[in-house]
Structure 1
Amino acid sequence: MADVRESLPTAAAPAPRGRGAGRRWTALVVLCVSLLMVTLDNTILNVALPTLVRELGATTTQLQWIVDAYALVFAGVMLVSGRSADRFGRRRVFITGLAVFGSASTWAAYSGSVGMLIAARAAMGLGASMMMPATLSIITDVFREPVERRRAIGVWAAASGLGIAIGPVAGGLLLEHFWWGSVFWVNLPFAAAGLVCAPLLVPESRNPAPLRLDPVGSLLSILALGLLLWGVIEAPVRGWTSPLALGAISGGLLALACFVLWERRSDHPMLNLDFFRERRFSVATAAVSLAMFGLFGALFVLTQFLQFDLGYSALQTGLRMVPVAGLLALVAPLSPVLVRWAGSKAAVGSGLLAISGGLWQVAAAGGGATYPKVLPGFLLLGLGAGLVVPAALDSLMGTLPPGDTGVGSATNGVSVQLGGALGVAVIGSLLTTRYQGRMRPPLAPYHLPAGVSDTVLGSLGGALGLAARVGGGTGRLLAGLARSAFGSGMVLGLGVGAVVAAAGAALVLLALPARPRRPLSGPEPADPANPADPAGPSGPAGENGIRE
């Protein structure tokens, strides 16, 4: 395959003016509102995790699966969805994803068990995997001029941050007045509005010369991600040296190696690995993944810390998470300004350093710290994520030829979800391992029945629930022991997250180019069968080669 830089267009396409320019921004509103639904769901669920412990008896490991089932399918299928969007139409795939996401949200709301909820979350991940790359590829295709594209991506990232900001408060309000399933019902108005507005306001586009689909690559990518996450999440329960855990992790790495070999040999790869030869693409992808590792892992731990350790209600927890997401939403639109002034390296590197500093600050405060003591760390997390995401996205998407924006934006989505899933898996597993390691020795002399022991060791919420039922001095002793063990695990997990984010910052500062080497936007290539028609043989082209 030729180096990706050889296929980059060298001249920017003129931006449409007048009514066409207005329609681009209208389409952006529809796409961003739908994206807000996806990100809203993530943070609403984080606030609801302690409720799921109480209502469904979920253990910490099961909570990890409730979060990561969504991320696993999201990341595993997104490259297929991105390639399908380029081939069959980006708007068509986006609308299909909306319908799947809305239906799966209804299923999740009425799940009667942890297993059913995990399955419903996986189905939601399928819908989200179709929506996310389509939104970003449509935006990249519609906004061809680099400055406008940066602004549009900044708005897109701000919508994502707004969803994160609204989610904790909305989840807290719903849980104060309704049952836990109501946190999924909030998706339905957004899905319905998107299904009505998208066919009317969002232009259709596709790659006029798409590659064939790659089912072998798709299966290998899903197998690799699934085995790796299963091994990391289950290792604290089964033992890090157990044959099952080691076998799953080894199998995941083997499947990943097979995926790389297959994609290099295939004449129609799902992911063009030549893209990664361009450092602006590969380093930006890694930076997003490492940033989300710290952010998602922190959110998983901190919502439990605020409710179980500090005793806040779901609504109080939601309000105290607002500084993280609110600052993210505020900073994200300003990140492109920093990119224009100082370059991508400065914006992405400083963002990762802020995330690392935030994780270190919360970890240094330790378990049992008061909210004011951890607030500076919360603010640094929001600041860092707001800087990293838009700047890395602009670097990544600005490297791609227009015909590959679907799979390119899917690559970004995979980096987000894979980083987040690994953050929840690794930080959550370190928390569980330390928690159980601190709890087992003091409990060993009491020879607790297996069911009681599983409850205490399964989660901090389970231990506190049992302590409340026992009462008296014994109950207080158990609660204090459980909180201390959880705090120790939190310090370990967040400390590792800080190291990962700091390593990402070092990578960016050493390897990410500050500026593109040449203009990176241009008109979409003409269909080989009809070079005069930029929309291809399937229909007349609108402005910028986009079929209405």
Structure 2
Amino acid sequence: MITHAHKPERSIPPPHPKRWAGLAVLSVSLLIVVMDMTILNVALPAITADVRPDSVQLLWIVDVYSLVLSGLLVTASAVGDRWGRKRTLLTGFAIFGLVSLGVLLAASPAHIIALRALLGIGGAMIMPSTLSMIRTLFTDPGERATALGVWAAMAAVGSALGPILGGLLLEFFTWQSAFLVNVPIMVAAIVAGVLLLPESKNPNPGRWDALGALLSIAGMTALVYAIKQFGKEGLADPGALISLAVAAAALGWFIARCLHRPDPLLDVRLFKGPAFSAGTIAALSTSIAMAAMLLLIAQWMQLVEGYSALETGVRLLPTAVGAGVMSPLAPRLADRFGARAVLAGGLLVSGIGFLVVFAVPTPPGYLAVAVALLLIGSGMGALAIASAVIMSGAPPEKAGSAAAIEETSYELGGTFGVAVLGSVAAAIYRDRLPVPDLAEHGLHGPAAEAARESLAGAMEAARSLGPAASRLVGEAQDAFSASLGLFGLVGALIMLLAAAAVWLLTPRTLDLSAGHH
């Protein structure tokens, strides 16, 4: 169970002298990778106007980054354990920077999709490496909890800063700047990484499991694809069902291999620890809610309230403020009130934020939305200790596996959130815009379908209607606002269920300052 403070820990090496500078490099690199998931939320209208992707291509531009990233996380972290985490991280930086530069040659939707996929490869090499290197840089459990709090704050703030940075860049430059901003940062990260970060790897990694790597890539990619398809096409979509079956078979086989090998690619036995499972549930549910919330609120601000990309980004700031204030406080709150209270309490606070979105009359005013965003961000900040809880449940040589599981839960959560909660909102929106009503406005066939597909589609279709356009746009905006309200209720239920699960699973006596237990 818990390693008590009086029990000597002979195996603890001395702290790394450049650990805090190293943490700064790891945190900034994570910030960029996370921002890349949401920076396109505000750039999509400009990309659409320039390269004219069809609706399928547009979805792939958004989705392929997380699809590739989540598919490769397990394999990339296993490569880091064997090849060296610093080497893997620096390679990820180089890929991320070079691919971002490639946007200058992108002239079609297919080019942008390919670039986003390659960025996913770089991101998969960066994300788990940052987390597992913190585990090896910070040997003191108290310092490690603080460092992991900073790391989690960057993950939370990054997703909120993405739209702000995107809006700022689009105010002055073309949409390509959303990619090019990565280049100088990655160059600086490579230089700083070479100078400041130590190399670390699993001293006894065992034989490389090539089949296991293929199964994890196929299974994770198929699972994320299935979730996205169910969100778009409904639960009866044959493509999604086939993809889900492939995911179940591949991941089932992968888990069986991991359980029966002495040197598994991913140590799924870590889930035997209730604290580890609780931290993973917290990470998963938080990112489910956060990803969907940011996507829908960003659309609502631009398409219903009429804010520019930059104005939208600035109005999303309460999330980053809440997370930024609470993240550094979380380890101290955990010392005082216990990790269980802070972990479950964070989910509860986020749940209340979602309830605010549901409870206010539609359309909601910005003040109510700002309060909701502040509460959700604060709840996420309290969850900064989720990383510490997860990593406290893993010995140092299993840092890669623990990091991969946490990163995978964040990635899956983000994808699941956009797909499932996004599709709940989309279903309500479609229900409020029936085909006969659109026919009355003069919209038929593909134009009517586009209007029911999204609010952006409705506004595009309305351009052909002349004087009648404003009535259709008003109805579509009302439908979208109504969908946002009900989405708040679903998000709140997810958060409250997760809070209950985390409260039951987290050991009451868990002490993050006591190290590995």
Do both proteins adopt the same fold according to a TM-score greater than 0.5, normalized to the shorter chain? yes
1:88 to 83, 107, 110: 83
Aligned match of 1:360: 355
**Which residues of structure 2 form unaligned runs of 5+?**
none
Q: Classify 1:336/1:91 alpha carbon distance in 2 versus 1 (closer, same or farther; 3 Å).
A: same
- Partners of 2:430 and 2:74 lie apart in 1 by 37
Calculate the aligned-residue CA RMSD, in Å: 2.7
Contact 1:24-1:143 within 8 A present in 2 as well: yes
In the TM superposition, residue 127 of structure 1 has moved relative to its aligned partner by 0.7
Q: Which amino acid aligns with 1:243?
A: P
Contact in 1 for aligned 2:202/2:397 (Cα 8 Å): yes
Is residue 2:508 matched to residue 1:510?
no
Mean CA deviation greater in 512-521 or 269-278: 512-521
Look up the match of 1:481: 475
Q: 1:511 to 1:186 in 2, by over 3 A?
A: same
2:393 corresponds to? 399
Identical residues among aligned pairs (%): 37
1:397/1:64 CA distance change after superposition, 3 Å: farther
2:340–2:503 Cα contact (<8 Å) kept: yes
For each residue in 1:142-162, what CA deviation from the matched residue of structure 2 results, as whole angstroms up to 9, or x when unmatched?
A: 111111111211222233344
Shift of 1:54: 4.4
Name the aligned partner's letter for residue 381 of structure 2: G
Q: Secondary structure at the match of 1:134?
A: helix
User: 1:440/1:53 Cα in 2 relative to 1: closer, same or farther (>3 Å)?
Assistant: farther
What residue in structure 1 maps to residue 165 of structure 2? Answer: 170
Q: Which amino acid aligns with 1:229?
A: V
After superposition, residues 244-323 of structure 1 pair within 5 angstroms as 244-323=239-318
Separation of aligned partners in 1, 2:166 and 2:192: 26
- Does the residue aligned with 1:270 lie in a helix, a strand or coil? coil
Instruction: Give the Å deviation of 1:510.
Output: 1.1
Deviation at 1:194, TM superposition (A): 1.1
The verdict on how the C-alpha distance between 1:49 and 1:430 changes in structure 2, with shifts beyond 3 A counting, is farther
The one-letter code sitting in structure 2 at the alignment partner of 1:491 is G
Q: Distance in 1 between matches of 2:59 and 2:476?
A: 19
What is the alpha-carbon distance in structure 1 between the residues aligned to residue 133 and residue 297 of structure 2? 35
Aligned pairs for 1:18-167 within 5 A: 20-21=16-17, 23-57=18-52, 64-108=59-103, 110-167=105-162
Q: SS in structure 2 opposite 1:174?
A: helix
Q: Residue 2 of structure 2 contacts residue 516 of structure 2 at CA under 8 Å; is this kept in 1?
A: no
Residue by residue over 1:248-300, the C-alpha shift from the partner in whole angstroms, topping out at 9 and shown as x without a partner, is 33433343333322322334322112111011111211111011100111111
Give the C-alpha shift of residue 72 in structure 1.
2.1
2:411 and 2:146 map into 1 onto residues whose CA distance is 23
Report deviation, 1:70. Answer: 1.7
What are the superposed Cα offsets for residues 418-440 of structure 1, whole Å, 9 maximum, x if unpaired? 11111111112222233233323
Q: In the alignment, which residue of structure 1 is the partner of 2:187?
A: 192
Q: 8 Å contact 1:78–1:130 — kept in the other structure?
A: yes
Q: Is the 8 A contact 2:258 2:265 kept in 1?
A: yes
Tell me the residue number matched to 2:327. Answer: 332
Letter in 2 for 1:224: G
Q: Give the Å deviation of 1:95.
A: 0.3
Answer with 242-251 or 178-187: which moved more: 242-251
Structure 1: how far apart are the matches of 2:205 and 2:470?
Answer: 64
Q: Note closer, same or farther for the CA distance 1:334–1:64 as it changes in structure 2 (3 Å cut).
A: farther
Does the 8 A contact of 1:157 with 1:329 survive in 2? Answer: no
Code of the residue aligned with 2:313 in structure 1: it is G
Which amino acid is 1:194 matched to? A
TM-score by length of 1: 0.86
Structure 2 counterpart of 1:226: 221
Shift of 1:339: 1.3
Local SS of the residue matching 2:20: helix
Q: Are the aligned partners of 1:76 and 1:218 in contact in 2 as well (CA < 8 Å)?
A: no
Of 462, 466, 477 in structure 2, the residue corresponding to residue 471 of structure 1 is 466
Instruction: String of CA shifts for 1:518-547, please: whole Å, max 9, x gaps.
Output: 94349xxxxxxxxxxxxxxxxxxxxxxxxx
- Aligned with 1:497 (options 480, 484, 491): 491
Aligned residues: 512
**Given that residues 50 and 304 in structure 1 are in contact (C-alpha distance below 8 angstroms), is that contact kept between their aligned partners in structure 2?**
no
| Residue number among 428, 432, 435 corresponding to 2:426 in the alignment | 432
SS of equivalent to 1:471: helix
C-alpha displacement of 1:186 = 1.0
2:171 and 2:310 in contact (8 A); partners too: yes
The range that moved more, 123-132 or 161-170, is 161-170
Secondary structure (helix, strand or coil) at the match of 1:368 reads: coil
Residues 51 and 353 of structure 1: is their aligned pair in 2 closer, same or farther, counting only changes over 3 Å?
farther
Residue 39 of structure 2: SS of its match in structure 1? helix
What displacement does 1:411 show?
Answer: 1.4
Which structure carries more relative contact order (alpha carbon 8 Å, separation 6+)?
A: 1
8 Å Cα contact 1:50/1:307 also seen in 2: no
